[in-house]
Amino acid sequence: MRTNHEIDYFILGEEMQLVEIELDPQETAIAEAGAFMYMDEGIQMETIFGDGSSQDKTSFFGKILGAGKRLLTGESLFMTAYTHTGIGKARVAFASPYPGKIIPIDLAEMGGKIICQKDSFLCAAKGVSVGIEFQKKLGTGLFGGEGFIMQKLEGDGLAFCHAGGHVMKRVLKPGEVLRVDTGCIVAYAQTIDYDIQFIGGIKNTLFGGEGMFFATLKGPGEVWLQTLPISRLASRILSYGSGARKEEGSILGGLGNLLDGDGR
């Protein structure tokens, strides 16, 4: 018997996906501020502190403390709850913030908890707790790409994360180790041992272009990986928007920029 609200969902789209959640009367979905796309008549939205998982059981100070933890993961103090107050079924939809894939995760199948990168959470059934997870290993916190603080999702309901590019799921056997670029990790099961490993070799370190460390993920458990971390996408956009062009192989070079109106 689940303690979180039970919801049905549909994921639509390819590069810029949305998740449409179907609510029965008095069912509620929670979402990050800014994720909302549309909703049917009969759904009421309410801004709440934190994630609403213990909204009716804690004091006002407790709610403030719980919401304040979200600031450490770079999120807003507030979330939005969408409750179906009518009859029949109604739908509310949430959109991806950038090109990528939406990942549905049933926390009941994950032992009640997963750990994910700080900005990946999109929405969930009411009752799912969105908290913080501290990296206990010094090296992982310093060089793991996500710092000492990650997000944790706890409960027995459905949660939806978003990641850039294509997302793949790997199921690691006990003792199996996967070495990954630190920015490509989206989420992993609580049974995974997450650590970092020095790449090694002076040429690899100085000229490899892949940084100095791998993330190592040791099974057993599930791991979700993304092909396009948002940091990588942002740096590529900034490099093209800086005004310096690579001329794209043109024999005219800078003269070509003048002729097509891009000279500065």
Residue 102 lies in a domain: yes
pLDDT in tens, 50-87: 777 764 455 555 555 555 555 555 566 788 999 999 99
- The total domain count for the chain is 1
> pLDDT for 198-235, tens place per residue?
765 454 444 444 556 788 999 999 999 999 887 777 77
| Helix, strand or coil, per DSSP, at residue 98 | coil
* Strand intervals (E) in the chain: 8-12, 18-23, 28-32, 36-39, 43-49, 78-84, 90-95, 100-106, 113-116, 121-125, 129-134, 149-154, 158-164, 167-172, 177-180, 185-189, 193-198, 213-218, 221-226
Task: Examine residue 85 and state whether it is found in any structural domain, yes or no.
Answer: yes
Average pLDDT across the chain, whole number: 80
On whether residue 73 sits in a domain, the answer given is yes
In a domain, 46, yes or no: yes
Assigned domain for 37 exists = yes
Is residue 252 domain-resident? Answer: no
pLDDT at residue 63, rounded to an integer: 57
Mean pLDDT of all residues in 169-192: 93
- Model's pTM, two decimal places? 0.79
pLDDT tens for each residue of 18-51? 999 999 999 999 998 889 999 999 999 999 877 7
**141: pLDDT strictly greater than 60:** no
Residue 154 counted as domain residue? yes
Higher pLDDT, 231 or 162: 162
Residue 104 placed within a domain: yes
* Domain enclosing residue 44, as ranges: 8-242
Assess contact for 105 and 145: CB atoms under 8 A. Answer: no
CATH number at residue 214: 3.60.160.10
